[in-house]
Structure 1
Amino acid sequence: MTKKLLVATLGTSPAVITEAVDLLNEEGERPDGVLLFYTEDPDVKESLELLQKHLPQHCRIGWVVPVPIGSYGDIDSTEAAVAFMEQACAQLRAYRDEHRLFVCIAGGRKVMSALLALAVQFYGAERLFHIWAPPWLEAEGEIAELRKFQDWPEQLTEHLHPSLNQPPTDRPRLVDLPFISLFPMLPSILDALGGHASASKEIKQFLVRAGLLNPDDMPTSIGQRVAAILSMVEMLPPARSQEPHVHIPPHHHRDRLERFAWDLIRYAPFVVEVRGEEWKKGQPSVEAESPNALIVRARLGTDILFRLRLVTTATTEGQLEAARRYIERYVHRREG
């Protein structure tokens, strides 16, 4: 049976995620797993840690995939927006064929939610939705409120799972959002944005109306960015079909390095193995090593230049180079 995956942006309200699980369950669509995009903001990370404990224990959802976006706060630049858009598209592309995707954009930063919704337009999902709740209920679901109940699990659960047996104005509601999946048209869209003569007149007209092409069939500035994102994602190696592995030799920075290795695996669905290697001098970087490996050098907040070997699913030089650029963007944001 095809598994159902809840994909969501996470902010400082863990209750948005548990409410989404409850509301889907109410409709007979209980998710088998939850994928959460999160920033490095301390309150957001605390929200994530709470959910990583609560979802398996209370909701019997042991498959929780935290996906770091490599940012401490908001998506505050064009570069950061492009990076998150690539990441959102890459995750949807990795899971869409083998899973039913339910995408919630109620949590997290507004820009993250908007970009995830746009990614759904290109790569599709079974449903795209928002969670509405009365203001008083929203306030009760914030991490600042929930941390008061760390020693009272029953009260914590009550706040994370407000009763659905209430009038519509006093309970959370799932609000479906309309979208059109453009995935079947993706090759034609890329042809049109790339200026290929084979692109159909209908697709060009559609892209002109969307503001991605000008009336002369030339890509606008935003059209160029969208084309770059989609081209990058389409070139990425396929998603792994096996459980990933991490091998870090024992040393006093092992925990730090293992956390970073798992962050890379969650960020990149095409990484199948990460191995720690001998530390060397140099600058943070990501290099491709044929036929399918990436060498990542990062300081991770220390004076040491750590070195990791990532084994990927790449089978061509083009896929490996796309993987290198994808990982490089994440490492750059983490190191910055």
Structure 2
Amino acid sequence: MSALLASVGEQPTAISPLIDHLLTENLREVVLLVTKDPYVLLSARVIQWEYHQIPVSLKALQFEDAITEDDLVEVMRVAREELIRLRRWRRVYVGISGGRKGIAATLALAGSFFGAYRVLHVITEEISSVSPEWYSIREELRQDFEKFVGQRGDEIREFLHRPGGRIVALPLIPAEINEAVSALEGMEKGHKKARPYLIKKLEEIGALRKGKLTEYGKMLVKALGR
């Protein structure tokens, strides 16, 4: 049994091949990270419509585009929560072919930190930009979603399941981060000391300076802490 946590962009064909592939591995749940961008939300809605036979939920990010450090911290925090929750399934996959590169990179990093099994990416010619065909479809969907899928659902399905995409699966090496984050949380509260080797490592990456959390250290606690 498996689950998928994936970022979503403006085009659903960045996600549909991943789901089609994982349905052969007894896929039980899909969680899509979505921004407030209306085209991203429309793309996610199309995925929910097509794969109604399995739970496909949306996890909302509180921005339209990831342009600040705080935005990526939010991605890491939300991904952490979902990856921990999805551990009840045997394998958790992270899909990074949809959405902004910063979001996808942060999601892949979260997968390494919090126990995902593989990172999946779809390579097709159409993912780099919105295809003219999808541009036409999505404008009509925005006007009347239910009417369009009712009358021309086969057209959307043909677009979603068009052959030609290649899936790349990248293994993840678990990162032992729990001890480091726990140490930072304790030091921030002033009641816990870390082992010397760990303090040295945290200083090397700029999370500590003279035994005090730096702004970077505080950001790590915010993104990765409990």
| Residue matched to 2:145 | none
| Residue matched to 2:160 | 160
| Residue matched to 1:49 | 45
> Aligned partner of 1:33: which letter?
E
Q: Tell me which protein shows more helix as a share of its residues.
A: 2
| Residue matched to 2:75 | 84
Which of residues 201, 215, 220 in structure 2 aligns to 1:221? 215
Mark the CA change 1:90 to 1:128 in structure 2 (over 3 Å): closer, same or farther. Answer: same
% identical aligned pairs: 26
| Residue matched to 1:177 | 170
Deviates most, 102-111 or 219-228? 219-228
Does residue 66 of the first structure (1) align with residue 71 of the second (2)? no
In the TM superposition, what whole-angstrom CA distance separates every residue of 1:189-223 from its partner, at most 9, and x where no partner exists?
A: 4315755544251x4455456x2446866554323
Mark the CA change 1:80 to 1:139 in structure 2 (over 3 Å): closer, same or farther. Answer: closer
| Residue matched to 1:6 | 4
Distance 1:192 1:37 in 2: 27
Name structure 2 gaps, 5 residues minimum. Answer: 142-147
Normalising to structure 1: TM-score of the pair?
Answer: 0.55
Distance 2:47 2:62 in 1: 19
> Aligned partner of 2:27: which letter?
P
- Number of aligned residue pairs: give it: 213
Distance 1:216 1:105 in 2: 38
Name structure 1 gaps, 5 residues minimum. Answer: 164-170, 235-336
Corresponding residue SS for 2:67: coil
Corresponding residue SS for 2:19: helix
Distance 2:119 2:14 in 1: 14
Structure scoring higher RCO (CA < 8 A, sep ≥ 6) equals: 2
CA contact (8 A) 2:117 2:171 kept: no
Corresponding residue SS for 2:27: coil
Mark the CA change 1:178 to 1:100 in structure 2 (over 3 Å): closer, same or farther. Answer: closer
Which residues in structure 2 correspond to 1:74-223 (within 5 Å)?
A: 74-135=65-126, 139-140=130-131, 143-147=134-138, 150=148, 151-163=151-163, 171-182=164-175, 185-191=177-183, 194-195=186-187, 196-199=192-195, 201=197, 203-204=198-199, 206-207=201-202, 211-213=205-207, 219-223=213-217
Deviation at 1:123, TM superposition (A): 1.0
Mark the CA change 1:102 to 1:187 in structure 2 (over 3 Å): closer, same or farther. Answer: same
Mark the CA change 1:118 to 1:219 in structure 2 (over 3 Å): closer, same or farther. Answer: farther
CA RMSD of aligned residues (A): 3.0
Mark the CA change 1:52 to 1:135 in structure 2 (over 3 Å): closer, same or farther. Answer: closer
Distance 2:170 2:196 in 1: 29
| Residue matched to 1:325 | none
Distance 2:127 2:72 in 1: 32
Deviation at 1:137, TM superposition (A): 9.2
Mark the CA change 1:29 to 1:142 in structure 2 (over 3 Å): closer, same or farther. Answer: farther
In the TM superposition, what whole-angstrom CA distance separates every residue of 1:22-69 from its partner, at most 9, and x where no partner exists?
A: 2334xx42422210011221111211221221112xxxx321111111
In the TM superposition, what whole-angstrom CA distance separates every residue of 1:249-288 from its partner, at most 9, and x where no partner exists?
A: xxxxxxxxxxxxxxxxxxxxxxxxxxxxxxxxxxxxxxxx
Mark the CA change 1:24 to 1:207 in structure 2 (over 3 Å): closer, same or farther. Answer: farther
CA contact (8 A) 1:9 1:107 kept: yes
Normalising to structure 2: TM-score of the pair?
Answer: 0.78
Deviation at 1:74, TM superposition (A): 0.4
Mark the CA change 1:97 to 1:216 in structure 2 (over 3 Å): closer, same or farther. Answer: farther
Deviates most, 141-150 or 125-134? 141-150
| Residue matched to 1:31 | 27
Mark the CA change 1:97 to 1:49 in structure 2 (over 3 Å): closer, same or farther. Answer: closer
